[in-house]
Chains A and B, each alone.
Chain A
C-alpha cells in the first residue's frame, strides 16, 4: 500500500528526468531521494551469511546467559559476599543475577538490531502525510450532525433541563471533596505546643538519664527529650519531631543576647533542634563560634546570640526553651516554648 502513497515528485526516478532543468532554474531545488546504495550483505552472500551467524550467536549467547541466571539463582546463597576487583566486596547473587540478566537481554537486543541493520532491507521509502485537519465538507457534515443532535435533545429550547443538569453535575463532585475531610484533623493550635512543660526534666537522648548541669561541658553538644517520652511510645515520632532539644554550654559573658542569658542556666542554653526553615534536625555544631548548621539546607544559627540566623534560607531564630535546675539538681524546663518550633506557617504570626 505504501507504494501508492509515495509522493511522486520526491521519487528519485521521477526527479532524474527533471534534474537538468531543475538545476538551471533553481540550484537549491530538492533533487529527490538519493539512490539506494547496497550494503556488502546485499551483494555478497558470504557477508550475509556472516551476519546471519553473528545474529544467531548473539541469540544463543542470550540463551546461555539465561541458563547462567537460573544457575546463579540456585547456586549462590542470598547472603554470599564475594570480592570482585575493582568493585570490592559485593553480593554474589546481585552481581551474578544482574550480569547474566543484563547479558541475556542485551544479546537479544543486539541480535535484533544487527539483523535489522545488515540483513533487512535498508531502502528508504517515502509515505505521504495526511492533513490532520478535516476537509471543509467533513467539518460541515459534523457541524450539521451536531446541530441535529442538539436540536433533537432540545437542550437549547428547554433551559430548565440544561441548567438543572449543569447544577447537578457541578454539585455531585462535592461529595467526593467532603469525604476527603476525613484525611486528617484540623490544624487548630496543634503546631503551637510541644511536649515541654514546667517541671519536665531534660533527659539525655543517648543515656536516657536526666541531665545535671555538670554533665554539660563547654564545647559539647547534647541532645535531649522531655521526661516521660519513650522510644516505644506509639506517637514517639510525632512528639520527638517537635520536642527534640539541643543543649550547649556557653560562657555566660560570651552570650550576647540578654534574654538568652536570662533563659539559660549558668550559660547552659537549650534550643529547639528542629530547623525553622523546613524542619530538618540541626546537628552540626562549631564549638569556637557557637554556630550550628543545618546539614540539609545550610541555615546557620548563632547560638551565642539568640540563635539568630547568620546564613542560609531559614527565616527566623531557633526557639529557645527556658530552663533551670530543680531541687534534685537536674535540669528542667520552666515551661513550653513560647513560640511554635519548626518551619514557619501562615497562622504562626
Chain B
C-alpha cells in the first residue's frame, strides 16, 4: 500500500479497507489478524463454561457502572420519605435509602440491580464449574499452570467482590454479614483488633465501612480482576485450547473451527444468550429483596440469615466449629473462629497448589494439550470429588438453620452430622469415586478387546445363548486407548554410582509413595495393549 499513491488507494479500496489500512499503519492490525483471525478453537460443550464466566463478568461491569450513577455510598443517617410506604419515617443510612430508590423510584433500576446480583451468582457458580471442568480433565497441566492460578485468583477475588457488593446496601441481612466478618477479624491473634479498627475506622460499625467497601468493590477488586481476565484470555489464545483425544486430534495439533466466522458467531452469540437468560431470570425472580429486611442496626437481626451461596462454605465452617478458646498469659486464642478461617484458606490454597503437586509426583515436564477423561486419572478425580464433597458438606453446615426448618430436623443433629461428615464424607467420596473410575477403565478395556455389546442375542446350534459383540471402529479404538499411563516413580537406587550406600531423602520416599497411590497396581487399570487385542481378535475363543 505504501508504494501506491494516496489518490490511487482512495479510488480503489473500499471504505472498510481504507479504515483498516489506516489502523494497520498505526497499530499493525494485519499481523495480529494474520495470526488470529482464522485461529482454530476446538468444540466441546464443557468449553463454554468459561465463556459463561467471562460474559457474566462483562454483564456485572455494565450493570455495575449503571448502579454507581444512583447509589450513594454514605452512612449518613436520614429519615426515609421515598415511595416505598412501609419504610416511611424509618431511620436508615443513605446507602440503604438510595438502594430503595434504585428499586422503587428509578425506572428499570430494580431490573439492573437484579441483573447485577444474578450475574454475580452466575459468575461465581460458572467459575466453580469451569474450574471443575479444568481440574477433572487435567487441563491445568503444563503449560497452563499459571493460567490455573489466574483463574483461581479470579474465583477468590470474585468471592470477596461479591461479599463487598452485597454488603453495600447496608440492610439488616448484609450488615449482619459484615458484623460476622468483623468478629472473624477480631479472632486473629495479635493483629485482629488493629485490623478491625483500621478497616472500620474505629469501633464497629462506625461511619466509614460502606464507603470503603464501595471503593474496594467498584475499583480495587474489579480492577485487579479485569487485568486477570485479560491475562487469562491472552494465555488461552497463546497456549491454544486443549482438546479431548480422538481421531485426528494429537498433542501437536488443535482441531476445530476457525475464530472467523464460526467461533465468533457462536461465542459472540453466546454472550447475548447468557445476558438474555440472566435478564429473564431477573425479570421473574427476586434476588436480595432488601426492602423486606429493613436497614441495618447492630442490635437487630432476622432469623434464617444466609450469605450468598459462594460464601456458604465459609459460613458452614464457622457454624459447626466447636467454640474453643484458649486463655493464656492474659491473651485469648479464639480457636473457635480462627480454625475455620485457617481451614478456609487451606482449602482454597489446595486448589491453587494442586497442579504443582501433581507435576511433582509425576515428574512430567512435557506439555499436555490432550485432555484426560476423568476416569483415566482415578486418584486425581477421586481427590477432586473428595474436595467437592467437603465443600458441599460445609454448604449444608452453612445452611443448617434452613435445613432444620425445611426438613423438620434438629439443628444440633445437622451440626453433628456436618462435624463428622466433613472428615468422613471426603474419605467415602474418594474411595467410591476411585472404584467407579477403575470400573469405567475396566469397561473401556473390555470394549476395546471384545467390542461393543450389540444387544443382539444369538442362539448357538447346541442351545447356548450368546450376545453378539461388535468390534469398534479404528477411531473408537484410538479414542479409548489414546491416554497415557504413568508407571509409579521408584525410589532411586540405594547405592550410588561409587558403590557407597545412599539414604533416600524423605521427600524422595514421599514422592514414591504418592506416585504409587496415583499409578501403582490397583490404582489404574493397564489399558488394552496391541498384543492383547491381536491375540483376542486373531480368531479362537471369540464369540
A residues engaging B (CB < 8 A)?
1-2, 6-7, 10, 12, 15, 23, 26-34, 73, 78-79, 87, 91, 93-99, 101-113, 115-117, 120-129, 131-132, 180, 183-187, 190-191, 205, 223, 225, 231-232, 237-238, 240-242, 244, 273-274, 277-281, 283-284, 295-299, 309, 311-316, 342-349
Q: Tell me, in angstroms, the Cα distance from A120 to B239 when the chains sit together.
A: 26
Given contacts A185-B197, A315-B334, A344-B334, contact A33 B255 (CB under 8 A): yes
Contact B474 A97 (CB under 8 A): no
| B residues 173-201 in Cβ contact with A at 8 Å | 176, 179-180, 182-184, 186-194, 196-201
Chain A contacts for B282, CB-based, 8 A: 94, 98, 102
By Cβ-Cβ distance, the 10 closest A-B pairs, closest first, are A98-B283, A278-B183, A112-B269, A106-B276, A33-B248, A109-B272, A109-B273, A315-B325, A102-B280, A102-B279
Chain B contacts for A244, CB-based, 8 A: 298-299
Contact B336 A277 (CB under 8 A): yes
- Segment at the interface with A among B100-108, B160-168, B487-495: B100-108
Contact A347 B193 (CB under 8 A): yes
Chain A contacts for B367, CB-based, 8 A: 131-132
Q: Tell me, in angstroms, the Cα distance from A283 to B399 when the chains sit together.
A: 18
Residue from the list A15, A241, A348 in contact with B204, Cβ < 8 A: A241
Residue from the list A78, A95, A231 in contact with B105, Cβ < 8 A: A78
- The verdict on B319 contacting chain A, using a C-beta distance below 8 Å, is yes
Residue from the list A1, A97, A238 in contact with B108, Cβ < 8 A: A97
Residue from the list A97, A113, A343 in contact with B187, Cβ < 8 A: A343
Can you name 24 A-B residue pairings with CB atoms under 8 Å?
Answer: A23-B474, A26-B530, A28-B533, A95-B284, A96-B283, A97-B108, A106-B273, A111-B269, A126-B249, A129-B251, A132-B239, A184-B201, A185-B197, A187-B194, A223-B299, A237-B298, A240-B297, A242-B203, A277-B337, A281-B300, A296-B180, A313-B336, A342-B183, A346-B334
Given contacts A279-B180, A345-B186, contact A116 B303 (CB under 8 A): no
Given contacts A31-B478, A120-B262, contact A184 B202 (CB under 8 A): yes
Residue from the list A112, A223, A232 in contact with B91, Cβ < 8 A: A232
Q: How far apart are A61's CB and chain B's nearest CB, in angstroms? A: 11
Residue from the list A102, A186, A347 in contact with B276, Cβ < 8 A: A102
Contact B298 A241 (CB under 8 A): yes
- The verdict on B131 contacting chain A, using a C-beta distance below 8 Å, is no
Chain A contacts for B182, CB-based, 8 A: 278-279, 343
Contact B318 A101 (CB under 8 A): no
- The verdict on B9 contacting chain A, using a C-beta distance below 8 Å, is no
Identify the interface centre among B184, B261, B323, B369: most chain A CB within 10 Å of its CB: B323
Given contacts A120-B265, A238-B204, contact A298 B252 (CB under 8 A): no
Contact B248 A298 (CB under 8 A): no
Q: How far apart are B329's CB and chain A's nearest CB, in angstroms? A: 8
Chain B contacts for A31, CB-based, 8 A: 247-248, 474-475, 478
Q: Tell me, in angstroms, the Cα distance from A123 to B478 when the chains sit together.
A: 21
Contact B91 A279 (CB under 8 A): no
| B residues 264-315 in Cβ contact with A at 8 Å | 265-266, 268-280, 282-284, 297-305
Chain B contacts for A26, CB-based, 8 A: 530
Contact A127 B284 (CB under 8 A): no
Contact B299 A124 (CB under 8 A): no
Identify the interface centre among A190, A238, A344: most chain B CB within 10 Å of its CB: A344
- The verdict on B437 contacting chain A, using a C-beta distance below 8 Å, is no
Chain B contacts for A104, CB-based, 8 A: 276
Beyond the given pairs A30-B482, A315-B334, 11 more chain A to chain B contacts, judged by CB atoms under 8 angstroms and listed by A's residue number, are A27-B530, A34-B248, A112-B269, A129-B369, A187-B194, A237-B297, A242-B203, A277-B183, A279-B204, A346-B189, A346-B192
| B residues 54-111 in Cβ contact with A at 8 Å | 77, 83, 91, 104-108, 110-111
Q: How far apart are B246's CB and chain A's nearest CB, in angstroms? A: 9
- The verdict on B359 contacting chain A, using a C-beta distance below 8 Å, is no
Given contacts A238-B206, A241-B204, contact A125 B273 (CB under 8 A): no
Contact B262 A122 (CB under 8 A): yes
Contact A311 B412 (CB under 8 A): yes
Given contacts A32-B247, A237-B205, contact A298 B481 (CB under 8 A): no
- The verdict on B444 contacting chain A, using a C-beta distance below 8 Å, is no
Q: How far apart are A161's CB and chain B's nearest CB, in angstroms? A: 32
Contact B269 A298 (CB under 8 A): no
Contact B332 A345 (CB under 8 A): yes
Residue from the list A91, A116, A225 in contact with B110, Cβ < 8 A: A91
Given contacts A79-B83, A185-B202, contact A295 B284 (CB under 8 A): no
Closest A-chain residue to B279, C-beta based?
A102
Q: Give the number of residue pairs across the A-B interface with Cβ within 8 Å.
A: 363
Q: How far apart are B485's CB and chain A's nearest CB, in angstroms? A: 13
Closest B-chain residue to A95, C-beta based?
B283
- Segment at the interface with A among B33-41, B372-380, B503-511: B33-41
Closest B-chain residue to A310, C-beta based?
B412
Chain B contacts for A103, CB-based, 8 A: 276, 280
- The verdict on B330 contacting chain A, using a C-beta distance below 8 Å, is yes
Q: Tell me, in angstroms, the Cα distance from A312 to B300 when the chains sit together.
A: 20
Chain A contacts for B39, CB-based, 8 A: 127
Chain B contacts for A30, CB-based, 8 A: 247-248, 250, 478, 482
Q: How far apart are B119's CB and chain A's nearest CB, in angstroms? A: 12
Given contacts A124-B256, A129-B252, A132-B143, contact A299 B323 (CB under 8 A): yes
Given contacts A240-B298, A343-B186, contact A313 B276 (CB under 8 A): no
| B residues 232-259 in Cβ contact with A at 8 Å | 238-240, 247-258
Q: How far apart are B14's CB and chain A's nearest CB, in angstroms? A: 22
- The verdict on B542 contacting chain A, using a C-beta distance below 8 Å, is no
Closest B-chain residue to A191, C-beta based?
B193
Q: Tell me, in angstroms, the Cα distance from A180 to B283 when the chains sit together.
A: 43
Contact A102 B186 (CB under 8 A): no
Chain B contacts for A314, CB-based, 8 A: 323, 336
Given contacts A109-B271, A120-B261, contact A295 B111 (CB under 8 A): no
Residue from the list B208, B283, B401 in contact with A295, Cβ < 8 A: B401
Q: How far apart are A321's CB and chain B's nearest CB, in angstroms? A: 15
- The verdict on B411 contacting chain A, using a C-beta distance below 8 Å, is yes
Chain A contacts for B91, CB-based, 8 A: 231-232
Chain B contacts for A79, CB-based, 8 A: 83, 104
Residue from the list B184, B189, B203, B321 in contact with A190, Cβ < 8 A: B203
Chain A contacts for B297, CB-based, 8 A: 237, 240
Q: How far apart are B261's CB and chain A's nearest CB, in angstroms? A: 5
Residue from the list A15, A108, A126 in contact with B269, Cβ < 8 A: A108
Contact A2 B336 (CB under 8 A): no
Q: Tell me, in angstroms, the Cα distance from A95 to B367 when the chains sit together.
A: 51
Residue from the list B248, B261, B477 in contact with A32, Cβ < 8 A: B248
Q: Tell me, in angstroms, the Cα distance from A129 to B115 when the chains sit together.
A: 40
Contact B533 A184 (CB under 8 A): no
Q: Tell me, in angstroms, the Cα distance from A241 to B182 when the chains sit together.
A: 12
Q: Tell me, in angstroms, the Cα distance from A112 to B318 when the chains sit together.
A: 47
Chain A contacts for B254, CB-based, 8 A: 126-127, 129
Q: How far apart are B312's CB and chain A's nearest CB, in angstroms? A: 13
- The verdict on B515 contacting chain A, using a C-beta distance below 8 Å, is no
Q: How far apart are A21's CB and chain B's nearest CB, in angstroms? A: 13
Contact A343 B183 (CB under 8 A): yes
Chain A contacts for B298, CB-based, 8 A: 237, 240-241, 244, 274, 281
Contact B143 A184 (CB under 8 A): no
Chain A contacts for B273, CB-based, 8 A: 105-106, 109-110, 113
Closest A-chain residue to B328, C-beta based?
A349
Closest A-chain residue to B251, C-beta based?
A129
Q: How far apart are A242's CB and chain B's nearest CB, in angstroms? A: 8
- The verdict on B327 contacting chain A, using a C-beta distance below 8 Å, is yes
Contact A281 B255 (CB under 8 A): no
Closest A-chain residue to B93, C-beta based?
A237
- The verdict on B331 contacting chain A, using a C-beta distance below 8 Å, is yes
Q: Tell me, in angstroms, the Cα distance from A342 to B196 when the chains sit together.
A: 13
